[in-house]
């Protein structure tokens, strides 16, 4: 026996009942919202510095949390961030600090004391929006931002190659209040290079003058960042979250570790027997086998020294960063190593550069130069014969082991 078909009216009643039951069991999009305490004093004293915000979502949604001041302006803690549905509460702390929309050194700042309306707003994927709101009072807030006053980068064109010219960059600022901070370089691809602060009597994080002395890592034998234009970024954030950022630019040029040697560690001394009052001549070849120019200074090749003279006697004082070929002897008791020093090439071998109105001479990467010089022997040595030898000196930097005491040869003075 067939059952009687359901009437249209009964079908409609059942559908409506099902919809009603579904509506009664469905959760709201935003629920179980909690916000406490209603009064905060964000000043890092450990008492009511932040408010707790808790909420649940029944569906995936975009979530915003903002505060409306007495003038109707919104201050966002969260702005349209995606959140997934979950049974557990989302929880965040709000300490009164919000992002600053306008450009300038202040990036996050404490909202001033006053009355605010807090709003938690969720919009699901269908565009349905629900929100909860309440009141918040801020008192005794620390609104002073950590300023980095008189921020300076000098020089702004930087050549980290140990030639003694613009090899170091001084980055300085005056910190107005206690704060955490960091200073780094950022290249055009967004890669960052952190910088280390120079230790001084003003400790890190404390108010006062702070100095960064940067040489690109070359002093430690490391290759500096590639040549190019970098942004120098300094960020500071205090205990309550006020944050500032200030920037400048720094251009890297001719960066790298300088490398040179005496070719084949070979020095030609002539003659091997020098009469008292005679002249000892040497010849050697220097090669720049590195990737950066190396600077040199005089006296020029071909110069003659009296045996009781030295480079200072001739007015060619030591210059930090300059390379010179030096000659020394084993009984030298003057206290000046390599007293007879010579430029590592003449003007035909070197590139002349004018920097801030002064001429400097460089042996370029891959180039060689032959150096010849003379020593007029005027005094008898303490013993005879004695050894003469050469060295390639990077003044006020170092003498590499392979460039020190090169090719010692026994020279007799007199007959």
pLDDT in tens, 95-112: 999 998 667 899 999 999
Is it the case that residue 348 has pLDDT exceeding 80? yes
**Number of domains the chain contains:** 3
Domain check: are 218 and 183 in the same one?
yes
Q: What is the pLDDT of residues 379-405, one digit of tens each?
A: 888 889 999 999 999 999 999 999 999
Task: Supply the pLDDT for residue 278.
Answer: 96
Could you tell me the pLDDT band of residue 20, with boundaries at 50, 70 and 90?
very low
Q: Does residue 18 form part of some domain?
A: no
Task: Supply the pLDDT for residue 18.
Answer: 47
Task: Supply the pLDDT for residue 8.
Answer: 54
| CATH classification of the domain holding 379 | 2.60.40.10
Domain check: are 71 and 94 in the same one?
yes
| CATH classification of the domain holding 65 | 2.60.40.2550
Q: Does residue 2 form part of some domain?
A: no
Domain check: are 194 and 282 in the same one?
no
Residue 339 burial (C-beta neighbours within 10 Å; 0-12, 13-18, 19+): buried
Domain check: are 211 and 318 in the same one?
no
**Token pair of 414 as six digits:** 């007199």
Is it the case that residue 158 has pLDDT exceeding 60? yes
Q: Does residue 9 form part of some domain?
A: no
Domain check: are 247 and 125 in the same one?
no
Q: Does residue 154 form part of some domain?
A: yes
Domain check: are 131 and 40 in the same one?
yes
Query: Average pLDDT in the 340-362 region?
Result: 96
Query: Average pLDDT in the 113-121 region?
Result: 98
Domain check: are 74 and 153 in the same one?
no
Query: Average pLDDT in the 64-72 region?
Result: 97
Out of 227, 252, 277, a domain closes at 252
Domain check: are 155 and 212 in the same one?
yes
Q: Does residue 367 form part of some domain?
A: yes
Is it the case that residue 259 has pLDDT exceeding 80? yes
Q: Does residue 143 form part of some domain?
A: no
Which residue segment(s) compose the domain that 36 sits in?
30-138
Domain check: are 325 and 390 in the same one?
yes
Task: Supply the pLDDT for residue 220.
Answer: 87
Domain check: are 188 and 121 in the same one?
no
Task: Supply the pLDDT for residue 7.
Answer: 55
Is it the case that residue 14 has pLDDT exceeding 70? no
Domain check: are 203 and 277 in the same one?
no
Domain check: are 313 and 332 in the same one?
yes
Task: Supply the pLDDT for residue 22.
Answer: 40
Is the model more confident about 351 or about 8?
351
Q: What is the pLDDT of residues 233-258, one digit of tens each?
A: 999 999 999 999 999 999 999 999 99
HEC string for the chain: CCCCCCCHHHHHHHHHHHHHHHHHHCCCCEEEEEEECCEECCCCCCCCCCEEEEEEECCCEEEEEEEECCCCCEEEEEEEEEECCEEEEEEEEECCEEECCCCCCEEEEECCCEEEEEEEEEEECCCCEEEEEEEEEECCCCCCCCCEEEEEEECCEECCCCCCCCCCEEEEEEECCCCEEEEEEECCCCCEEECCCCCCCCCCCCCEEEEEEECCCHHHCCCCCCCEEEEEEEEEECCCCCEEEEEEEEEECCCCCCCEEEEEEEEEEECCEECCCCEEEEEEEEEECCCCCEEECCCCCCCEEECCCCCCCCCCCCCCCCEEEEEEECCCCCCCCCCEEECCCCCCCCEEEEECCEEEEEECCCCEEEEEEEEECCCCCCCCCEEEEEEEEECCCECCHHHCCEEEEEEEECC
Q: Does residue 7 form part of some domain?
A: no
Out of 199, 226, 252, a domain closes at 252
Is it the case that residue 6 has pLDDT exceeding 70? no
Is it the case that residue 78 has pLDDT exceeding 50? yes
Is the model more confident about 220 or about 81?
81
Q: Does residue 20 form part of some domain?
A: no
Task: Supply the pLDDT for residue 1.
Answer: 45
Out of 221, 252, 283, a domain closes at 252
pLDDT, mean over the chain: 92
Picking from 13-27, 115-129, 228-242, 358-372, which range would have the lowest pLDDT averaged per residue? 13-27
Order of strands, sheet of 208-214, starting from the edge strand that comes earlier in the sequence = 148-154, 169-175, 208-214
Task: Supply the pLDDT for residue 13.
Answer: 45
């Amino acid at each position: 026996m067939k059952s009687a078909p359901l009437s249209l009216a009964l079908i409609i009643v059942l559908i409506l009942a099902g919809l009603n039951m579904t509506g009664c069991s469905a959760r709201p999009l935003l629920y179980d919202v909690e916000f406490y305490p209603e009064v905060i004093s964000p000043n890092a004293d450990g008492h009511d510095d932040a408010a707790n915000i808790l909420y649940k979502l029944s569906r995936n949604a975009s979530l915003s949390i903002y505060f409306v001041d007495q003038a109707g302006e919104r201050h966002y803690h969260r702005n349209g961030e995606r959140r997934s549905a979950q049974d557990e509460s989302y929880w965040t702390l709000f300490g009164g600090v919000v992002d600053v929309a306008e450009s300038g050194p202040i990036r996050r700042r404490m909202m001033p004391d006053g009355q605010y309306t807090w709003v938690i707003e969720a919009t699901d994927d269908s565009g349905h929006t629900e929100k909860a709101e309440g009141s918040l009072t801020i008192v005794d807030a620390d609104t002073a931002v950590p300023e980095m006053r008189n921020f300076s980068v000098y020089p702004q064109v930087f050549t980290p190659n140990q030639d003694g010219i613009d090899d170091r960059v001084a980055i300085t600022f005056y910190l107005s209040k206690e704060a955490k901070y960091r200073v780094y370089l950022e290249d055009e691809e967004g890669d960052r290079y952190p910088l280390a602060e120079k230790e001084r009597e003003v400790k890190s994080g404390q108010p006062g003058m702070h100095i960064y002395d940067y040489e690109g890592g070359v002093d430690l034998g490391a290759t500096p960042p590639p040549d190019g234009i970098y942004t120098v970024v300094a960020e500071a954030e205090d205990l309550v979250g006020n944050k500032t950022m200030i920037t400048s630019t720094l251009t890297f040029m001719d960066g790298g570790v300088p490398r040179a040697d005496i070719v084949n560690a070979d020095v030609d001394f002539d003659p091997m027997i020098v009469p008292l009052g005679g002249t000892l001549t040497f010849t050697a070849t220097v090669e720049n086998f590195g990737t950066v120019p190396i600077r040199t200074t005089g006296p020029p090749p071909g110069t003659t020294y009296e045996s009781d003279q030295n480079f200072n006697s001739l007015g060619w004082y030591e210059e930090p960063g300059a390379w010179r070929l030096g000659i020394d002897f084993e009984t030298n008791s003057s206290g000046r190593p390599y007293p007879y020093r010579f430029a590592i090439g003449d003007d035909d071998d070197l590139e002349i550069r004018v920097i801030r109105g002064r001429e400097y001479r460089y042996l370029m990467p891959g180039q060689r130069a032959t150096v010849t010089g003379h020593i007029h022997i005027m005094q008898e040595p303490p013993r005879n014969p004695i050894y003469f030898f050469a060295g390639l000196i990077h003044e006020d930097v170092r003498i590499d082991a392979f460039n020190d005491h090169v090719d010692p040869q026994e020279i007799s003075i007199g007959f």
